[in-house]
A = this chain, B = another copy of it.
């Protein structure tokens, strides 16, 4: 079994899903955002989670896509809230149509996500949907925290980790847990899968913060330094703000409060401050810590060794990614 088989199965099913017919303003944006691509990381985790415990991993395809539709719903609504013009290099839904269309199409996507998740065996419906609903509410909590952080300069490391845990990581945890539930894993095992996915997810998001500053421009795909230019409160900036004293602090504060600046110069200067404070090493250590925790969670999962290797390798790619 190779991940390509899972990816192909997901893509085939994605093409066959009918979200709805009419009015087109409601359903065309769903097709549009679902076809913008993406790594399909979440449904892949679900299929790998199911395959740990059953040969019939195909029965996890539709629920797995429920998680993917939910994820894309959050992107559609987050893009409105963040007034983002582009998503994966293409116009966002609220730009291509309008804000009302993006609100309402997103709403119906959340319903579609539940509809896809209904495709599990009757005795699994209650845990699958109760756990999903809790996760979905947490993702909204994380997004609200992220918005609240925009106007605050005293965000603590613990608050930041909690925010990314809610906004990003719990859904990765749930995606894997869902696979376990569908595959027939017991409660203890599904908890390990959830926590493993969540820890890998926190490491994954911290890596995102790191790559934005220290990524290889040839491999990263986005503009290196984008977060610095935008004063985005990343793990790196929060750590730097917590540690900088004296003249370094003054210099950092100066760059954060300038309204006019040369972008490459600001990126170079703030990166130099991070270097002086050892922020890169600190962030790498923290990423490593979460990945180690995640792999320790997976160690607790009793399943066929070859099948587990597939999951571990996939998680390792997330660790070692450069884009």
Tell me the A residues contacting B by CB distance below 8 Å.
Answer: 20, 22-23, 25-26, 77, 80-81, 100-101, 103-104, 106-108, 110-112, 114-115, 118, 122-123, 125-126, 129-130, 133-134, 136-137, 140-141, 143-145, 147-148
Contacts and interface: CB of A to CB of B under 8 A. Distances in A.
Nearest to A108: B140
A26 B141 contact: yes
Contacts of A140: 26, 104, 107-108, 111
* Interface core residue of A77, A114, A123 (most chain B CB under 10 Å): A114
Given A25-B148, A77-B103, A111 B123 contact: no
A193 to B, nearest CB: 22
A26 B114 contact: no
Given A22-B141, A25-B144, A141-B20, A118 B133 contact: yes
A147 B98 CA distance: 12
Number of copies: 2
Nearest to A80: B103
Contacts of A122: 122-123, 125-126
23 contacts: A20-B137, A23-B144, A23-B145, A23-B148, A25-B144, A25-B147, A26-B140, A77-B103, A77-B107, A80-B100, A81-B100, A100-B147, A106-B107, A107-B110, A108-B136, A108-B140, A108-B141, A111-B140, A114-B114, A115-B133, A118-B130, A118-B133, A125-B125
A265 B108 CA distance: 41
A43 to B, nearest CB: 19
A31 to B, nearest CB: 15
Given A77-B104, A80-B100, 4 more contacts: A25-B147, A104-B147, A114-B114, A118-B130
Nearest to A110: B110
Nearest to A147: B100
A134 B21 CA distance: 13
Nearest to A125: B125
A73 to B, nearest CB: 8
Contact of A137 (B112, B123, B136, B145): B112
A105 B136 CA distance: 12
A133 B111 contact: yes
B141 A114 contact: no
A114 B100 contact: no
Contacts of A148: 23, 25
Given A20-B141, A25-B148, A103-B77, A136 B118 contact: no
